[in-house]
Homo-oligomer: A and B are copies of this chain.
Amino acid sequence: TPKHVRALASVHRASSIFAPHDEFPERHIGPDDKETATMLSKLGYKSMDAFVGDAVPTKIRVPATNISNETIAAFSESQLHARAKALGAQNKSFKSYIGMGYHNAVVPPVILRNVIENPQWYTPYTPYQPEIAQGRLESLVNFQTMVMSLTSMDIANASMLDEATAAAEGMVMAFVSSNQKKKKFLVDSGVLPQTIAVLRTRAKGFGIQLVIGDASSAIEDQALRSELCGVMVQYPDVNGNVKDFAALAESAHSAGALVVCGTDLLALITLKPPGEWGADIVLGNSARFGVPAGYGGPHGAFFAVADKLKRKMPGRLIGRSRDATGKPAYRLALQTREQHIRREKATSNICTSQALLANMAAMYAVYHGPDGLQRIADKVHGFTQVFKSTIESVGYKVSNSTFFDTVTVDVTAIGKSAKDLHEASTAVGINLRQVDNEHVGVTFDESITPEDLVKLINVFTSVVSSPSVSLADLKEPAGSSIPPELKRTSKYLHYPVFNKHHSETEMLRYINHLASKDIGLVHTMIPLGSCTMKLNSTSSMIPLTWPEFSNVHPFVPYDQVKGYHTVIKELEEDLARITGFHSTSLQPNSGAAGEYAGLCVIRAYHENRGEGHRDICLIPISAHGTNPASAVMAGLKVVPVKSLADGSLDLEDLKAKAEKHRDNLAAFMITYPSTFGVFEEGVQDACKIIHDNGGQVYLDGANLNAQIGLTNPATCGGDVCHMNLHKTFAIPHGGGGPGVGPICVAEHLAPFLPSHPAMSSIGIKAIDAVSAAPFGSSSIHLISWAYIKMLGGKGLSESSKIALLNANYMASRLSGHYSLRYKNTKGRVAHELLIDLAEFDKAAGLKVADFAKRLQDYGFHPPTCSWPISTCMLIEPTESETLEEIDRFCDAMIQIREEAEDIITGKQPKDNNLLKNAPHPPSVIALSDAEWNRPYTRREAAYPLPYLEEKKFWPTVSRIDDAYGDLNLICDCPSVEELAHS
């Protein structure tokens, strides 16, 4: 049969020569009209409408005339580009010296082009399949190693969402370490204000009491000491001060409290690292290592702890283990700490983190190495010294005597007010930190040139009418201003990886080599159920790295970021339209962070009505593990609700529990379509039950891709929902983040949406901040904004329909070979399908993992494994996959089914077969005849289907031993000695 020949994806000849011919839907949606027709007819439908009618329950359908997302006009790709350019031009390119945890970054060009602008790096998923993810696993270990080495801590994880939420995690760890007994947490007043705001929010849910003040003196309060679980300091602090916290740490430890330290990796090149003066938990933002400010992010925060705390550490941890042949290999370690295992016992809900940005920061350290970083730290510190001495010479007074890169300037010494300085600086395009009426703050970074420094100094000289200085006046500082006892003396980054790749050629090859080990959307479908791995279009990615969007400090005045605020406003409005809700907050940096924010909003709503005692949260047992974890974090008690045999919610059980808890019912969390991949018929009934009992409904929008233009969370009966912009709205997953988890809420909840210290106007009912930056990871909002604007309302609806069709076509092809666990009364699934492999375990001891690893040999990324049911695979093709790709995947699945049959029937032994031995990397295929003790040929192992002859992605290691790695936990890079030994 001739290969399928396809026309343009779904739109053909333009109706008018004046219509744009670069419309996005036809590029985004995989199947063209012919393929769509083929799939419909194979499923027995005459029209798309008939099919959708069967797939989506009629009761929840939004009437066609009423689908408000369809009012969103579509921009063509070039129109969007022009619009983004125009908006970018509305952001003013001021030079910011604001500091407060954010800096101007210098992205090494080789990293810019080959990491953040390279789909090989940005399209992969979280490395749950380590055999086809060794590249970014290695890079994340570099990140961990860099953090461990610079902080001098025992172990570090593979990134957190931002510095403020990392601090909140640190606080909760301290609390948990006291067995949740000691409720006081001391916060030094030098901690970043946005961190304090987030601590405040988080403290509330756990019932922790924050004490804010001068930590070194406050800690001596005996009453406090007995209840103290931890203390947090900032090193250097927000005003630039570098304090010696050794005594404080000793005092905290003697009170049985943990010391949490917010810090800065560049400063630690010069300063004695927290691990050497007693900190237990060290965290911060790694973004100044080559990640643009982006008006708030995304940035990789880091988190490092002392060895004794490692098994309580939140977030993902990469460890070294070995593969089936004994070869060293990386993989996610201590996975049992994840939410799907811990659920309501969890105290953290972090899932998607900031892998891509952590990788950028790690690559920056690889590129510069210890010498290069030293040079940068010297420069930054040196500039600060020169600035300080020069302005002091004209009468200013610097308030902090010790400093690394930040000084707080007392302007009263020269008889001026801070306003005078801000006026003078703004007039020449410079932003200083707004401290108070008497002080301004100035923070230096790698990007500042001598010319910038002169311009900055002359702002200060002009205000006192001193003569201006010129480049020639700049003098080298005499040595460092760090007191000897605070100076770093220990070595750092003495691992080979940080000392080899310093020429651009070597760096390029290293980046490319790691990328070559990883499967991404550039290779194949990634049909991970619940993850919606769709096209991350180039058009939506391009504006992201434009300087007008990337080089913006998150705390600049609004009038400098009009372009950004148009994007933010339009995205907020479009999301509200799509969900059917009233208002949006873009602040949460992941889906889980959105859940938490939404539940906090619900709590605030109840409180505001005098029902603060409502603390019961009903959650179906099928829910994603982050749901119960978020509920706990918001101070709610989780009560599970059962599912029926057909996968749907047990409405009886729901009703019983809602009524039982009617006096204390706070919320019900539900995923829709359910995590089993079906649209519940009774969702509205369920919501009514909750409302009738005084609760609010939280809708987990991870599966929103199935809904758009057909139904929406408001119609389903929800009050609040989060979306994963990194799923439904096409932000690339980046190998484990960034993510954005905005929440949309009904009108009655709008007043409670999160605030932020840097927000210009905040309602008084608003909850405190949930993220470090006022609008979260602003730069990547551009991606979803572009995605929505380019698809337009109709394209969005069409995408959802095709997502449903692709999944149902796949279900139909696989049925007869695999048992579909759930479908609706019409025999249809939603946008994903759950197949149950339990029978294979029974028949031949074949596990889900054996099928998954074998899929790797077929060049595919496996679907979601063992979730939400341990014996199942959850498969989600999305609308971006063509029929050809879907058929190829089904062919592979069916062929594996046949391979399994040979094992079941005994043609192949149960312990030595194609599935158990999978995957087969080239090094295994190359085993000698003597070593190849397998009852199948190498060709059967490597080329089981003909398409693999032309195109095959190879795993680089064989199956990885998880248990071995967890027993022998090693989370840093190989050292010089180890490499020499190997």
**CB 8 Å contact bits of A13-38 with B (1 = contact, 0 = none):** 11011101110001111101000000
**CB atoms of B542 and A500 under 8 A apart:** no
Chain B residue, CB-CB nearest to A975: B2
Q: Which residues on B sit within 8 Å (CB–CB) of A1? A: 980
Please, which residue of chain B has its CB at the minimum distance from the CB of A368? B8
Q: Known A3-B496, A496-B3, A508-B521; judge A13-B538 contact (CB<8 A).
A: no
Q: Is A523 an interface residue (CB 8 A)?
A: yes
A372 at the interface (CB under 8 A from B): yes
A513 in complex: contacting residue of B449, B938, B951, B954, CB < 8 Å: B951
Contacting pair A8 B542 (CB below 8 A):
no
A926 touching B951, Cβ below 8 Å: no
Least Cβ distance of A196 to chain B in Å?
Answer: 34
Q: For the complex, give the distance between the alpha carbons of A351 and B882 in Å.
A: 40
Residue on B nearest A79 in the bound complex, by CB: B449
Known A30-B503, A922-B922; judge A22-B106 contact (CB<8 A): yes
Nearest opposing residue in chain B for A929, CB measure: B929
Check if B926 sits within 8 Å of A17, measured CB to CB. no
Tell whether A179 is near chain B: CB-to-CB under 8 Å.
no
Residue contact A500 to B2, C-beta cutoff 8 Å: no
Which of the 9-residue segments A114-122, A665-673, A736-744 touches chain B? A114-122
Would you call A928 and B937 a contact (CB within 8 A)? yes
Contact B4 A500 (CB under 8 A): yes
- Give the chain B neighbours of A386 by CB distance below 8 A: 17
A512 at the interface (CB under 8 A from B): yes
Out of B5, B504, B524, B928, name the residue touching A28 (CB < 8 Å): B504
* Residue in B503, B922, B929 whose CB lies within 8 Å of A942: B922
Assembly CA distance A18 to B885 (angstroms) = 55
A21 contact from B109, B114, B372, B524, Cβ within 8 A: B372
With A13-B374, A77-B109, A922-B942 known to touch, is A538 a contact of B504 (CB < 8 Å)? yes
**A30 to B507 Cα, complex, angstroms:** 11
Task: Give A22 to B925 CA distance when docked, in angstroms.
Answer: 45
- Is residue A223 contacting chain B, with contact meaning CB distance below 8 A? no
Complex Cα–Cα for A880 and B77 (A): 39
8 Å CB interface, A889-940 against B: 922-923, 925-929, 932, 937-939
- Cβ contact within 8 Å between A371 and B8: yes
Interface flags for A651-667 (1: CB within 8 Å of B; 0: not) read 00000000000000000
Whether B371 lies near A13 (C-beta < 8 A) is: yes
Q: Are B113 and A117 in contact (CB under 8 A)?
A: yes
Which interface residue of A78, A476, A538 has the most chain B CB atoms within 10 A?
A538
Q: Which residues of B contact A17 (CB under 8 A)?
A: 378-379, 382-383, 386, 476-477
- A65 close to chain B: CB less than 8 A: no
Q: Is A434 an interface residue (CB 8 A)?
A: no
- A306 smallest CB distance to B (angstroms): 28
Partner of A499, one of B7, B476, B509: B7
Nearest CB of B to A664, in Å: 48
| Contact residue among B3, B14, B327, B524 (Cβ-Cβ distance under 8 Å from A979) | B3
Residue A818 is within 8 A (CB to CB) of chain B in the complex: no
A337 CB-CB contact with B under 8 Å: no
For residue A376, CB closer than 8 A to chain B, the reply is yes
Asked whether B379 lies within 8 Å of A21 as measured between CB atoms, the reply is yes
Chain B residues positioned under 8 Å from A3 (CB to CB): 496, 500, 976, 979-980
Cβ of A798 within 8 Å of any chain B Cβ, yes or no, is no
Contact B499 A30 (CB under 8 A): no
A977 at interface (Cβ–Cβ under 8 A)? yes
Report the bound CA distance from A501 to B524 in whole Å.
13
- B928 A925 Cβ-Cβ under 8 A: no
Q: A539 an interface residue at 8 Å Cβ cutoff?
A: yes
Set of chain B residues within 8 Å of A954, measured between Cβ atoms:
922
**How does the 8 Å CB contact mask read for A115-157 relative to B, with 1 for contact and 0 for none?**
0011110000000000000000000000000000000000000
- Picked from B30, B120, B512, B977, the residue with its CB within 8 Å of the CB of A505 is B30
Q: Do A371 and B500 have beta carbons less than 8 Å apart?
A: no
- Of all chain B residues, which has the CB nearest A114? B119
> A18–B474 contact, CB under 8 A?
yes
Chain B residues in 8 Å Cβ range of A508: 119, 521-522, 535, 538
**Known contacts A954-B922, A980-B3; A524/B503 CB under 8 A:** no
Do A372 and B30 have beta carbons less than 8 Å apart?
Answer: no
Q: Which residues of B contact A106 (CB under 8 A)?
A: 22, 78
Q: Is the CB of B6 within 8 A of A502?
A: yes
B509 pairs with A523, CB closer than 8 A = yes
Contacts of A450 in B (CB 8 A): 18
Whether the pair B949, A371 counts as a contact (CB closer than 8 A) is no
With A508-B119, A522-B512 known as contacts, the answer to whether A14 contacts B375 (CB < 8 A) is yes
> Do B21 and A504 touch across chains, with their CB atoms under 8 A apart?
no
Interface residues, chain A, CB within 8 Å of chain B?
1-9, 12-14, 16-18, 20-22, 26-30, 32, 77-78, 81, 106, 108-110, 112-114, 117-120, 327, 368-369, 371-372, 374-376, 378-379, 382-383, 386, 446-447, 449-450, 474, 476-477, 496, 499-500, 502-509, 512-513, 516, 521-524, 535, 537-539, 541-542, 880-882, 884-885, 922-923, 925-929, 932, 937-939, 941-943, 949, 951-952, 954, 976-977, 979-980
- Pairs of residues from A and B, 4 with the lowest C-beta to C-beta distance, nearest first: A17-B382, A109-B538, A2-B980, A512-B522
